[in-house]
């Protein structure tokens, strides 16, 4: 057998550069490159190997290890999970900085390969700088934190172990069902050790991503259920996007007259003005979607995991006779809510299900009602846009952006408002990370999405809370010449949780950015000069004072091409967009001396009685 003598790290990066995926006959490279920050634990191994391989597996320097994972995950989401990045770190804090990003990737089921450095496998120099010691075992490191949040985890203790680990890592990364964070822990001594690797390891490999089909008997049963339903509703989740089922969904809905509601991950499955698109569902949903969901006798969930925001904490579907058909590649989701499981790819299953429903359509009265909800919601959005505050900012940006452009967000009050109000016109125009709702995701994600498609304008909407947690990738974008427009909304604190705090009777305690006084954090606002901060990092900065100036800043930002743009806006945290026909369960203290908490508890107990068993 022909072999090649290289270090473990050299074998790893060479292998990654030769991995491709194919779906529907379309082939592309799987790894766009490697994000990293070098330190002891990866500089002499992975660092040397990446320098040696050069442009065949490009290396990009981030400013924060968590942020580099966010950028990689956002890239993968925008690429419908058909391409991603690897991320390398030093040992210790460099590695554990990636833990949050790993959890985000796995919860959102998005592929990313993590390569954290490890201490010495041979143990001779132990304990080394940044090493965790345990009295009961020498086989534990901080990288064991990745075990529960990785879809595949391994520690490469010998160079030859890499061979089997790589194939398992790729199997999971390219699986529509199992994908998420994959972690290969790399001891710093093993990275530099040479081994005679078989040449076959360094041949180009194409991983075919299949379109699985459900059991035919179950598919026929689903068609039977649909054909006898009077008020069916589709819940479109992220699986519609990842399977690129947008046209299949359009054809299915047009033929059957079944209306569509959209989760955060599924928003954009249909254009906002498609007559049978009811828009957002659940806690952050529209009035029409939530009314129809409450009355529906059949729910066809497509690529959704029915999170509490989608199901309104299991209160959304109130018809005693409601039945669920769950179309999903993952059995875990297909069997939820005691549903009929259609375990398969969304696109091909919708096509085949439609063929089993010749002539079926919902009633004219039902169609007319749904179309009415669609039109009424468009009018409600226009009314809210004109009301000022954060909603006005969303409206100006939505009106200014082109259909092919994308808005990005993740946490705070913005996701709820965007889910209801953003008028998505193309499938990739709305990018929300709401599986983990991770503060700090937004700016790094904007960078990743722009790398995925440089021709689109990328608009990041971020509150001051998230901005302060993680904004240093602005420097990375300056260095890389990446243009992203970052809209920073300054409302002096955590507005979303402040509102939630008020709803449970706690009056926004601990959620405002205030100076400390003898009574606590209740003094004047802590003023942060976000514009000066962004300018110091190298961004082009605007500070508009009203809607007209904001639009002018957006116009001028179109002329910038070589660096990020930051637009800083002051907004009133008290101007909120309310909920529509929905509820989110957050427990309230069962006993309290505060009358506001007592009243909130009474309301909570009354409302939670409507939960599904």
Give residue 597's pLDDT band: very low, low, confident or very high (50, 70, 90). Answer: confident
Cβ atoms 297, 306 nearer than 8 A: no
> Looking at residue 263, which CATH number applies to its domain?
3.40.50.1220
Specify if 584 maps to a domain: no
**Confidence category of residue 387, pLDDT binned at 50, 70, 90:** confident
d(CA 429, CA 148): 32
pLDDT computed for residue 550 by the predictor: 96
The pLDDT tens digits of the residues spanning 293-349 come to: 999 999 999 999 999 999 999 999 999 999 999 999 999 999 999 999 999 999 999
Mean of pLDDT values over 515-524: 86
List, for residues 407-427, the tens digit of each pLDDT value. 999 998 899 999 999 999 999
Residues 511, 453: one domain? yes
Q: Would you say residue 609 lies in a domain?
A: no
- pLDDT(163) > 90: yes
Instruction: Please check the confidence at residue 240 and state whether its pLDDT lies above 70.
Output: yes
The token pair at 114 is 């993590």
Residues 95 and 140 in one domain: yes
Q: Are residues 560 and 421 both part of a single domain?
A: yes
Check whether residue 405 and residue 356 sit in a common domain: no
pLDDT tens for each residue of 549-580: 999 999 999 999 999 999 999 987 677 788 88
Q: Which of 208, 235, 261 is the last residue of a domain?
A: 208
Half-sphere exposure of 102 (CA within 13 A, CB side): 28
226, 334: one domain: yes
| 87, part of any domain | yes
**Does residue 590 form part of some domain?**
no
* Nearest residue to 107 via CA among 84, 77, 71: 77
**Residue that is last in its domain, among 189, 208, 227:** 208
Percent of the chain predicted with pLDDT > 90: 83
> Is residue 600 very low, low, confident or very high in pLDDT (cuts 50, 70, 90)?
confident
What tokens does 480 get? 């890389």
Mean pLDDT of all residues in the chain?
A: 94
**Structural domains of the chain, count:** 3
Q: Please check whether residue 475 lies inside any domain of the structure.
A: yes
The position carrying tokens 């999170």 is 307
255 and 337 co-located in one domain: yes
Q: Is residue 543 over pLDDT 80? A: yes
Neighbour-count burial of 148, counting CB atoms closer than 10 A to its CB (0-12 exposed, 13-18 middle, 19+ buried): exposed
- Over residues 120-148, the pLDDT tens digits come to 999 989 898 888 988 889 989 999 999 99
Rounded average pLDDT over 164-182: 98
168 in the same domain as 36: yes
Which tens digit of pLDDT belongs to each residue from 191-206? 999 999 999 999 999 9
Statement: residue 42 has pLDDT above 80: yes
Q: State the Cα–Cα distance between residues 571 and 465, nearest whole angstrom.
A: 13
Average pLDDT of span 66-82: 98
As a dihedral over the C-alpha atoms of residue 177, residue 99, residue 206, residue 445, rounded to 10 degrees, the angle is 90
On whether residue 349 sits in a domain, the answer given is: yes
Tell me whether strands 3-7 and 194-198 are parallel, antiparallel or unpaired.
antiparallel
Look at 2-11, 97-106, 374-383, 485-494 and tell me which has the smallest mean pLDDT. 485-494
Q: Which long-range contacts (CB under 8 A, 24 or more apart) does 219-222 make?
A: 219/342, 219/349, 219/352, 219/353, 219/356, 220/356, 221/340, 222/300, 222/325, 222/340, 222/342, 222/353
Where in the sequence is the domain holding 422, given as residue range(s)? 386-570
**Same domain (yes/no): 27, 169:** yes
Q: Residue 356 falls within a domain, yes or no? A: yes
| 164 and 55 belong to one structural domain | yes
**Contact (Cβ atoms closer than 8 angstroms) between residue 546 and residue 465:** no
For residue 127, say if its preceding peptide bond is cis, omega within 30 degrees of 0.
Answer: yes
Which residues in 481-602 belong to E strands, given as ranges? 485-490, 540-542, 565-570
Q: Examine the domain organization and report whether 18 and 149 are in the same domain.
A: yes
Note whether 185 and 282 are same-domain residues: no
CATH number, domain of 182, equals 3.40.50.970
Q: pLDDT value at position 573?
A: 66
CA angle 473, 238, 147 (to 5 degrees): 65
DSSP assignment, residue 434? -
Q: Choose one of 159, 178, 208: the last residue of a domain.
A: 208
Residues 122 and 76 in one domain: yes
CB atoms within 10 A of CB 280: 29
pLDDT band of residue 513 (cuts 50, 70, 90) is: confident
């Amino acid at each position: 057998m022909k072999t090649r003598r290289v270090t473990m790290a050299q074998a790893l990066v060479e292998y990654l550069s030769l991995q491709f995926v194919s779906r529907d006959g379309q082939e592309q490279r799987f790894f766009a490159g490697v994000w990293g920050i070098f330190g002891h634990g990866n500089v002499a191994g992975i660092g040397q190997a990446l320098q040696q391989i050069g442009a065949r597996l490009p290396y990009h320097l981030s400013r924060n290890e968590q942020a580099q994972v966010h950028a990689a995950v956002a890239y993968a989401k925008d690429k419908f999970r058909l391409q991603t990045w690897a991320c390398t770190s030093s040992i210790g804090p460099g590695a554990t900085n990636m833990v949050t990003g790993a959890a985000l990737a796995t919860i959102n089921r998005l592929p990313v390969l993590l390569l954290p450095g490890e201490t010495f496998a041979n143990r001779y120099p132990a304990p080394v700088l940044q090493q965790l010691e345990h009295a009961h075992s020498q086989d534990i490191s901080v990288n064991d934190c990745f075990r529960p949040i990785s879809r595949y985890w391994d520690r490469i203790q010998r160079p030859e172990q890499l061979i089997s680990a790589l194939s398992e890592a790729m199997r999971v990364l390219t699986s529509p069902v199992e994908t998420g964070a994959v972690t290969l822990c790399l001891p710093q001594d093993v990275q530099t050790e040479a081994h005679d690797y078989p040449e076959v390891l360094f041949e180009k490999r194409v991983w075919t991503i299949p379109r699985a089909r459900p059991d035919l008997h179950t598919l026929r049963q689903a068609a039977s259920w649909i054909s006898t339903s009077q008020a069916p509703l589709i819940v479109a989740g992220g699986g519609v996007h990842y399977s690129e089922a947008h046209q299949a969904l359009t054809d299915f809905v047009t033929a059957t007259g079944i209306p569509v509601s959209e989760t955060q991950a599924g928003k954009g499955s249909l254009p906002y003005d498609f007559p049978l698109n009811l828009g957002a569902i659940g806690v952050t949903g529209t009035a029409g979607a939530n009314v129809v969901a409450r009355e529906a006798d059949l729910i066809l969930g497509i690529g959704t995991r029915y999170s509490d925001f989608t199901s309104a904490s299991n209160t959304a579907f109130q018809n005693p006779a409601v039945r669920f058909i769950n179309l999903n590649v993952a059995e875990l989701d297909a069997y939820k809510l005691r549903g009929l499981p259609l375990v398969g790819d969304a696109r091909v299953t919708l096509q085949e299900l439609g063929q089993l429903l010749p002539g079926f359509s919902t009633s004219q009265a039902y169609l007319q009602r749904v179309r009415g909800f669609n039109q009424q919601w468009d009018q409600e959005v226009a009314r809210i846009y004109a009301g000022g505050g954060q909603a006005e900012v969303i409206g100006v940006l939505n009106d200014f952006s082109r259909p092919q452009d994308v808005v990005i967000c993740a946490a705070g009050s913005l996701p709820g408002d965007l889910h209801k109000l953003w008028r998505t016109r193309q499938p990739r125009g709305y990018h929300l990370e709401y599986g983990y709702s991770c503060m700090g995701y937004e700016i790094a994600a904007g960078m990743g999405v722009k790398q995925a498609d440089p021709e689109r304008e990328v608009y990041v909407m971020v509150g001051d809370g998230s901005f302060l947690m993680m904004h240093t990738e602005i420097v990375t974008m300056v260095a890389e010449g990446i243009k992203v427009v970052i809209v920073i909304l300054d409302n002096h604190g955590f507005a979303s949780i402040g509102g939630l705090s008020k709803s449970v009777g706690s009056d926004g305690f601990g959620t405002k950015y205030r100076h400390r006084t003898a009574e606590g954090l209740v003094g004047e606002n802590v003023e942060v000069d976000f514009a000066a901060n962004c300018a110091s990092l190298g961004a082009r900065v605007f500070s508009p004072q009203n809607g007209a100036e904001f639009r002018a800043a957006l116009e001028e930002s179109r002329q910038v091409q070589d660096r990020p743009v930051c637009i800083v806006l002051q907004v009133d945290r008290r101007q909120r967009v309310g909920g529509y026909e929905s509820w989110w369960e957050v427990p309230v203290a069962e006993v309290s001396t505060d009358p506001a908490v007592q009243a909130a508890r009474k309301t909570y107990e009354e409302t939670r009685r409507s939960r599904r068993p």
